[in-house]
DNA sequence: CAGTGAGCGAGCTTCCGCTTGACTT
């Protein structure tokens, strides 16, 4: 048995370190935290100085008992969890749970997984830092108190199962606030003047810095320019440079992978995890931009051999964010001489991105020559400005240039090249335009830009960015989706060949892809929290408590004092809110019905937001109000009276076909026709309110023809059972159930009995199965069922109801 | 991809951070 047991947090890290240390060391991993507060409400005893009740969760039991056994056998246990608040606490929990002894336990830390760093750490052991542990306890207890006192308030005052917390509630608030800014925003239009001089290769653009809000002024300018001549008044050339960005942290990797590869935040982390486990990159959950000396030297060798000396500049980066804990290196390739990796396409692309960013971070700056030409107009006092940029030395941009075409299509016209010009030179105008341009509202958050904002505010940690984004979507506070824009007109005046031409063009505005939108519930919960718990959802709350955690970590403050000071007023607020706050439904009056004069209002109900026409029926015989659910994209706070009334026009009967009604309605996936319990989606461009009977019949028949084309096979035993060609290959349609055909089965050769068996094996109760909550239950049921009799019962039960 | 929406009541939900698998269509 090895004399030494060394424990780190991650198994991949353990493997690497084991290779550095030889056979005197057994290196194991704790898989993160091994203990947590018990799930129940008595986890923290407030009366007894916030004493905590911890437990080892079920999925950590096995690893804890293994570590316990190894620790007993070892002479020395080395606690090598990360050097930050959480890492120190992990070491402490290990110490307590494994029953370690002070004399035979050593705490070591390193910021990078390199052999010299590990050896140096082993030469410099220390004791567990209890101040740091206390700071973590304060963090943990505060989050539990906030989360588990606030959430129940929402259950009572808004809706069951909702949640609130220090991090998620601010994330939602950011999105709600931004949506309101966008709604409030008034776009202002102004005319922008642009001129093109010269022809062909010599052509270049110049712009006027002034904007005209009135068309008359823009037109006057163009009219004045009709007889004008143009001359270069001045030329100014000066050098400019651009420096590379720091190597990736979790947050910048998520942003860049989103922009350049279109990855969601969680996809980025999944792919990065694979690369990390394969030993291709360093740890992917980090807030540090630091590179180890080993890495800097490896990058240097790579840059000099591939591009030459002049491309290398040693750079050390400093983290800007105050909340960073820097327990790891920046994200970088483990080996800089590995330019590509095996694996699927996304792994290759993400690795390439990481490699380029890390290499570029040690390269020379790019140098440019920027030229500004001021162009005089004989008939006006204003000058036009043309900008040109010439690259003198590519520097770090060399690394990006290689694959620029497919990953970077943002071309800034402003900085294209200028032809050779001289002061006093007379220019020939080929065209001048005055284009009406609208100011743009603030941008909606996408996943990655929300992470960026949270990081700036110091809220959340690298390991929680992706889960936080999922939580606020799972709770229904926020949806990620595409939305169509609206068309709007803009005017363009063009001066060409001495004539001014006026036209109106249209553009699409406000279209969004993969953006985060608040839901009504998100808005109502945010308003509620802002009203009653402003301190918690304040954007500076985390930064403020972090400051106090730091004081605790430095031994300047007692953690229980800090928590007490926070908790006492907070708890009073909770009690008070429970007493005084009304139920929050987001109710808003839209006015009265134009014909009947009945009251029209919107609010959140049991099944989501809806419109109500007429008052509640209070007595027997009262007329009942009408209801209609809001559609995707509609919100209580922005819906208009007209849109609300539209909701009552559908579903609508549009005629008869084959002795059955046809109705048209709008569902989750857009407008559709319902006929004989089947759905037929309406082709784009047809207004569901205008669909005629013959049109509907045509749509139904067209869908049938298409389905017939997809048909592969039917069965004599039951003509309703079909094998069809779907988007992802052939599948079986069995009594409204879509059944996947297992790999290796030829669909044409399947017999009816085989098909039936496949259908019976497909769970029917998992509706339209997304990876839902059914999964953990099935897993839990599996273990005991595997033993004997009950195992046979389950499938028999399932098959029975399907027979009829 | 329906239409639904009052109030009652049992028993459930919930936080943030640190780690990976083991599930599902």
pLDDT tens per residue, range A205-234: 999 999 999 999 999 999 999 999 999 999
Q: What are A333's two structure tokens?
A: 């390739």
What per-residue confidence (pLDDT) applies to A702? 85
CA-CA distances (angstroms) from residue A116 to A189, A335, A366? 62, 16, 34
Q: Give me the residues paired with residue A733 across strands.
A: A722, A738
Q: Torsion-angle region of residue A161: left (phi > 0), alpha (psi -120 to 50) or beta? A: left
Q: Which residues of A are catalytic?
A: 283
Please report, rounded to whole angstroms, the spatial distance between the CA atom of protein residue A144 and the C1' atom of nucleotide B14.
9
What does pLDDT average to over chain A? 88
What per-residue confidence (pLDDT) applies to A410? 38
Measured N-to-C along each axis, helices A345-360 and A265-277 cross at an angle, to the nearest 10 degrees, of 80
Between A361-375, A451-465, A621-635, A637-651, the lowest mean confidence (pLDDT) is in: A621-635
Between A12-16, A410-414, A521-525, the lowest mean confidence (pLDDT) is in: A410-414
Of A253, A395, A262, A384, the closest CA to residue A330 belongs to A253
Between A414-418, A561-565, A637-641, the lowest mean confidence (pLDDT) is in: A414-418
The strand B neighbours among A residues 576-605, by Cβ under 7 Å, are: 605
Q: Helix or strand or coil: residue A152?
A: helix
State the DSSP string of A494-551: EEETTEEEEEEEEEEES-EEEEEEE-HHHHHHHHHHHHH-HHHHSTTHHHHHHHHHHH
Strand B at less than 7 A from CB of A769 = yes
C-alpha to C-alpha distance for A100 and A464, rounded to whole angstroms = 30
| Tens-place pLDDT, residues A107-133 | 999 988 999 999 999 999 999 999 999
Answer yes or no: are the C-beta atoms of A633 and A179 closer than 8 Å.
no
Strand B at less than 7 A from CB of A688 = no
Q: Helix or strand or coil: residue A52?
A: strand
Strand B at less than 7 A from CB of A169 = yes
The mean per-residue pLDDT over the stretch A458-477 comes to: 96
Q: Helix or strand or coil: residue A142?
A: helix
Which residue is nearest nucleotide B15, judged by alpha carbon to C1' distance? A147
The mean per-residue pLDDT over the stretch A311-319 comes to: 95
C-alpha to C-alpha distance for A182 and A517, rounded to whole angstroms = 11
Of A648, A680, A676, the closest CA to residue A664 belongs to A680
Question: What is the pLDDT confidence band of residue A791, given thresholds at 50, 70 and 90?
Answer: very low
Q: Return the ∠ at Cα A571 (arms to A568 and A576), rounded to 5°.
A: 125
Answer yes or no: are the C-beta atoms of A300 and A362 closer than 8 Å.
yes
Please report, rounded to whole angstroms, the spatial distance between the CA atom of protein residue A134 and the C1' atom of nucleotide B7.
48
The strand B neighbours among A residues 19-58, by Cβ under 7 Å, are: 29, 31-33, 36-37, 39-41
C-alpha to C-alpha distance for A413 and A321, rounded to whole angstroms = 33
Q: Helix or strand or coil: residue A90?
A: helix
C-alpha to C-alpha distance for A588 and A644, rounded to whole angstroms = 12
Question: What is the pLDDT confidence band of residue A402, given thresholds at 50, 70 and 90?
Answer: very low
Give the single-character DSSP code of A441: P
The strand B neighbours among A residues 648-667, by Cβ under 7 Å, are: 651, 665, 667
Residue A560 has pLDDT above 80, yes or no: yes
Please report, rounded to whole angstroms, the spatial distance between the CA atom of protein residue A285 and the C1' atom of nucleotide B19.
11
Shortest CA to C1' contact from A87: nucleotide: B18
Residue A728 has pLDDT above 90, yes or no: no
Q: What are A649's two structure tokens?
A: 């026009």
What per-residue confidence (pLDDT) applies to A743? 67
Which residue is nearest nucleotide B1, judged by alpha carbon to C1' distance? A667
Second-level CATH architecture of A250-364:
Orthogonal Bundle (1.10)
The H or E element that residue A628 is part of is strand A626-629
C-alpha to C-alpha distance for A765 and A797, rounded to whole angstroms = 13
Cis peptide before A651 (omega within 30 of 0): yes
Answer yes or no: are the C-beta atoms of A378 and A426 closer than 8 Å.
no
Start and end residues for every CATH 1.10.290.10 domain found in chain A: 250-364
Strand B at less than 7 A from CB of A60 = no
Strand order in the sheet with A626-629: A588-592, A599-605, A608-613, A626-629
C-alpha to C-alpha distance for A773 and A782, rounded to whole angstroms = 15
Strand B at less than 7 A from CB of A148 = yes
Location of structure tokens 């220019």: A427
Answer yes or no: are the C-beta atoms of A636 and A630 closer than 8 Å.
yes
Classify strands A4-8 and A25-29 as parallel, antiparallel or unpaired: parallel
What per-residue confidence (pLDDT) applies to A616? 82
C-alpha to C-alpha distance for A757 and A739, rounded to whole angstroms = 10
Question: What is the pLDDT confidence band of residue A736, given thresholds at 50, 70 and 90?
Answer: low
The mean per-residue pLDDT over the stretch A461-484 comes to: 95
- Within 13 Å, how many C-alpha atoms sit on residue A498's CB side? 1
Answer yes or no: are the C-beta atoms of A351 and A336 closer than 8 Å.
no
Helix count (H) and strand count (E) of chain A?
24, 31
| Tens-place pLDDT, residues A279-293 | 999 999 999 999 999
What per-residue confidence (pLDDT) applies to A324? 80
C-alpha to C-alpha distance for A267 and A466, rounded to whole angstroms = 9
CB under 8 Å to A614, separation ≥6 — which residues? A596, A598, A599, A623, A624, A625, A626
pLDDT > 70 fraction of chain A, expressed in percent and rounded: 91
Please report, rounded to whole angstroms, the spatial distance between the CA atom of protein residue A429 and the C1' atom of nucleotide B21.
67
Topology (CATH) of A189-243+367-440+478-514: Topoisomerase I; domain 3 (2.70.20)
C-alpha to C-alpha distance for A288 and A325, rounded to whole angstroms = 8
Tell me: domain A4-128, CATH 3.30.470.20, correct?
A: no
C-alpha to C-alpha distance for A154 and A521, rounded to whole angstroms = 11
Start and end residues for every CATH 2.70.20.10 domain found in chain A: 189-243+367-440+478-514
Give the single-character DSSP code of A416: S
What per-residue confidence (pLDDT) applies to A145? 98
C-alpha to C-alpha distance for A232 and A669, rounded to whole angstroms = 58
What per-residue confidence (pLDDT) applies to A415? 60
What per-residue confidence (pLDDT) applies to A745? 74
Strand B at less than 7 A from CB of A622 = no
Start and end residues for every CATH 3.40.50.140 domain found in chain A: 4-128
Among the residues of A310-385, which ranges form H helices?
Answer: 345-360
The H or E element that residue A592 is part of is strand A588-592
From the centroid of its chain, how far is CA A488?
A: 30
The mean per-residue pLDDT over the stretch A586-591 comes to: 93
Q: Return the ∠ at Cα A335 (arms to A331 and A337), rounded to 5°.
A: 125
Please report, rounded to whole angstroms, the spatial distance between the CA atom of protein residue A261 and the C1' atom of nucleotide B11.
46
- Within 13 Å, how many C-alpha atoms sit on residue A239's CB side? 6
Strand B at less than 7 A from CB of A357 = no
| Tens-place pLDDT, residues A538-547 | 999 999 999 9
Strand B at less than 7 A from CB of A500 = no
Give the single-character DSSP code of A381: S
C-alpha to C-alpha distance for A268 and A466, rounded to whole angstroms = 9
Question: Chain B positions under 7 Å from a protein CB?
Answer: 1-6, 11-25
Q: How many CB atoms lie within 10 A of CB A216?
A: 9
For A174-187, b/e burial (b = at least 16 CB within 10 A) is: bbbbbbeeeeeeee
Q: Return the ∠ at Cα A399 (arms to A368 and A309), rounded to 5°.
A: 75
Strand B at less than 7 A from CB of A778 = yes
Answer yes or no: are the C-beta atoms of A717 and A750 closer than 8 Å.
no
Give the single-character DSSP code of A647: G
Q: What are A568's two structure tokens?
A: 């006492």
């Amino acid at each position: 048995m090895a004399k030494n047991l060394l424990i780190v947090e991650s198994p991949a890290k353990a493997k690497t370190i084991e290779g550095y240390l030889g056979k005197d060391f057994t290196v194991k991993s704790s898989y993160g935290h091994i203990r947590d507060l018990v799930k129940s409400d008595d986890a923290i005893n407030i009366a007894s100085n916030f004493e905590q009740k911890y437990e080892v969760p079920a999925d950590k039991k096995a690893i804890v008992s293994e570590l316990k056994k190894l620790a007993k056998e070892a002479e020395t246990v080395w606690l090598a969890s990360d050097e930050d608040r959480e890492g120190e606490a992990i070491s402490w929990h290990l110490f307590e749970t494994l029953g370690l002894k002070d004399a035979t336990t050593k705490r070591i830390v390193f910021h990078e997984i390199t052999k010299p760093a590990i050896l140096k750490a082993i030469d410099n052991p220390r004791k567990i830092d209890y101040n740091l542990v206390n700071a973590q306890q304060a963090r943990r207890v505060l989050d539990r108190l906030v989360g588990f006192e606030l959430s129940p308030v929402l259950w009572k005052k808004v809706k069951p199962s909702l949640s609130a917390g220090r991090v998620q509630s601010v994330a939602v608030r950011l999105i709600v606030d931004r949506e309101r800014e966008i709604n409030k925003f008034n776009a202002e239009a102004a005319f922008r003047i642009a001129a093109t001089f010269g022809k062909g290769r010599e052509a270049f653009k110049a712009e006027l810095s002034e904007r005209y809000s009135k068309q008359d002024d823009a037109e006057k300018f163009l009219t004045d320019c009709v007889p004008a001549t143009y001359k270069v008044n001045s030329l100014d050339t000066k050098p400019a440079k651009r420096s590379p960005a720091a190597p990736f942290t979790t947050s910048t990797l998520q942003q860049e992978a989103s922009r350049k590869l279109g990855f969601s935040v969680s996809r980025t982390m999944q792919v990065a995890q694979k690369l990390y486990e394969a030993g291709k990159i360093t740890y992917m959950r980090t807030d540090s931009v630091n590179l180890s000396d080993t890495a800097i030297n490896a990058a240097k060798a790579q840059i000099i051999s591939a591009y030459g000396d002049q491309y290398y500049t040693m750079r050390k980066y400093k983290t800007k964010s105050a909340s960073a804990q820097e327990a790891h290196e920046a994200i970088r390739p483990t080996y800089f001489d590995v330019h590509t990796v095996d694996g699927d396409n996304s792994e290759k692309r993400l690795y390439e991105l990481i490699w380029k960013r890390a290499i570029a971070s040690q390269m020379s700056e790019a140098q440019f020559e920027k030229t500004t030409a001021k162009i005089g107009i004989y008939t006006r006092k204003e000058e036009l400005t043309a900008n040109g940029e010439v690259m003198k030395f590519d520097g770090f941009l060399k690394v990006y240039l290689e694959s620029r075409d497919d990953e970077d299509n943002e071309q800034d016209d402003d900085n294209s090249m200028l032809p050779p010009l001289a002061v006093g030179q007379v220019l020939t105008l080929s065209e001048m335009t005055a284009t009406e341009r609208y100011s743009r509202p603030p941008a909606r958050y996408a996943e990655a830009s929300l992470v960026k904002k949270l990081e700036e505010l110091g809220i959340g940690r690298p390991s929680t960015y992706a889960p936080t984004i999922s939580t606020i979507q799972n709770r229904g506070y926020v949806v990620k989706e595409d939305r169509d824009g609206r068309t709007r007109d803009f005017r363009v005046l063009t001066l060409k060949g001495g004539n001014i031409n006026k036209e109106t063009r249209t553009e699409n505005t406000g279209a969004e892809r993969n953006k985060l939108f608040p839901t009504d519930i998100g808005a109502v919960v945010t308003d509620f929290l802002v009203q009653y718990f402003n301190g918690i959802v304040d954007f500076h709350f985390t930064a403020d408590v972090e400051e106090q955690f730091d004081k605790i970590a430095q031994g300047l403050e007692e953690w229980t004092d800090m928590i007490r000071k926070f908790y006492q007023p907070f708890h009073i607020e909770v009690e008070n809110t429970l007493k005084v706050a009304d139920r929050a439904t987001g109710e808003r009056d839209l006015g009265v019905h134009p014909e009947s004069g009945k009251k029209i209002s919107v609010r959140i109900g049991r099944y989501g937001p809806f419109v109500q026409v007429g008052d509640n029926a209070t007595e027997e015989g009262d007329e009942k109000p009408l209801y209609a659910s809001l559609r995707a994209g509609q919100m209580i706070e922005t819906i208009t009276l007209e849109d609300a009334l539209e909701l009552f026009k559908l579903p609508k009967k549009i005629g008869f076909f084959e002795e059955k009604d046809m109705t048209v309605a709008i569902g989750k996936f857009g407008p559709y026709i319902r006929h004989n319990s089947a759905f037929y989606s309406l082709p784009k461009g047809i207004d569901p309110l205008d669909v005629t009977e013959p049109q509907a019949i045509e749509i139904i028949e067209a869908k049938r023809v298409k389905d017939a084309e997809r048909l592969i096979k039917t069965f004599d035993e039951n003509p309703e059972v079909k094998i069809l060609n779907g988007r992802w290959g052939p599948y079986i349609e069995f009594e409204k159930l879509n059944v996947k055909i297992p790999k290796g089965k030829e669909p044409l050769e399947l017999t009816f009995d085989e098909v039936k068996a496949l259908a019976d094996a497909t769970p029917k109760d998992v509706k339209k199965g997304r990876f839902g909550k059914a999964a953990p239950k099935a897993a839990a049921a599996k273990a005991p069922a595997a033993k004997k009799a009950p195992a046979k019962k389950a499938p028999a039960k399932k098959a029975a109801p399907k027979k009829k």
